[in-house]
């Protein structure tokens, strides 16, 4: 077997472990979950699990990194492809709502387990979050400049309000309901964009 094949298989196993950890963390909570629980969730022995991941905390960090890296890449792509700033903001809101609905277990961990991260691990994650928020803020500022819209609040407050509404759907979105994640995103965006039209 080639080294590349070995590397690919190891990465596949790490992704399986992370997926199992997300499921267990989401159901039981981070603090109540043991590495034995994660090992059982992925069907590995505990010694084999430790071959791929050093600590439970490492798994929690990987959850945050995955969500924020995916979100940042998607946000940058949406802005780059948008015909104008308003379309960029609309796309960002729709995407945030849809992603949150489609990855509720991941987002539940991110929103409810942040206090479990020590400062030295939290800071790089916060830097990723700030980078994502900066993309949204720049798009909103571009739309305000283009339209002359009066938000009646600081632009950053508006952005935090939009993201707060989009993120909170992890608490109440009903997969069996009438709306798909993207349809819900379109409705949320329609309400939030009314202030930006100018």
Query: 124-136 pLDDT, tens per residue?
Result: 899 999 999 999 9
What's the rounded Cα separation, in Å, for the pair 188 and 198? Answer: 18
Block mean pLDDT (10 aa), the chain, length 198: 56 88 87 89 87 88 89 96 96 96 88 84 90 97 92 94 93 91 95 84
Domain with CATH 1.10.357.10 in the chain: 59-193
Q: Residue 62 corresponds to which tokens in the numbers above?
A: 């990987």
| Contact predicate 18/62, CB 8 Å | yes
Residue 153 three-state SS: coil
Start and end residues for every CATH 1.10.10.60 domain found in the chain: 1-54
Alpha helices in the chain (DSSP H): 3-28, 35-42, 46-52, 56-81, 85-102, 104-112, 119-147, 155-172, 181-193
The pLDDT tens digits for 122-168 are 888 999 999 999 999 999 999 999 998 889 899 999 999 999 999 99
Report the C-alpha gap between 19 and 21 in whole angstroms. Answer: 5
Confidence at residue 10, expressed as pLDDT on a 0 to 100 scale: 77
Architecture of domain 59-193: Orthogonal Bundle (1.10)
Predicted pLDDT at 1: 39
CATH code, residues 1-54 = 1.10.10.60
- Confirm if 72 and 131 have CB atoms less than 8 A apart: yes
Q: What's the pLDDT at 7?
A: 61
Looking at residue 160, what is its pLDDT? 95
């Amino acid at each position: 077997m080639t080294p590349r094949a070995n590397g690919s298989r190891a990465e596949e196993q790490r992704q399986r472990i992370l997926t199992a950890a997300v499921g267990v963390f989401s159901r039981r909570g981070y603090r109540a979950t043991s590495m034995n629980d994660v090992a059982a969730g992925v069907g590995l022995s505990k010694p084999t699990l430790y071959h791929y991941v050093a600590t439970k905390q490492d798994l929690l960090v990987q959850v945050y990194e995955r969500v924020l890296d995916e979100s940042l890449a998607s946000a940058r792509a949406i802005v780059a492809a948008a015909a104008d700033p308003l379309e960029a903001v609309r796309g960002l809101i729709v995407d945030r709502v849809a992603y949150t609905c489609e990855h509720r277990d991941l987002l539940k961990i991110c929103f409810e387990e942040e206090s479990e991260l020590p400062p030295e691990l939290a800071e790089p994650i916060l830097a990723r979050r700030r980078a994502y928020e900066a993309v949204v803020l720049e798009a909103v500022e571009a739309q305000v400049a283009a339209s002359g819209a009066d938000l009646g609040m600081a632009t950053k407050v508006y952005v935090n309000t939009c993201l707060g509404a989009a993120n909170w759907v992890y608490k109440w979105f009903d997969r069996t309901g009438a709306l798909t994640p993207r349809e819900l995103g379109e409705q949320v965006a329609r309400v939030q964009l009314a202030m930006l039209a100018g």
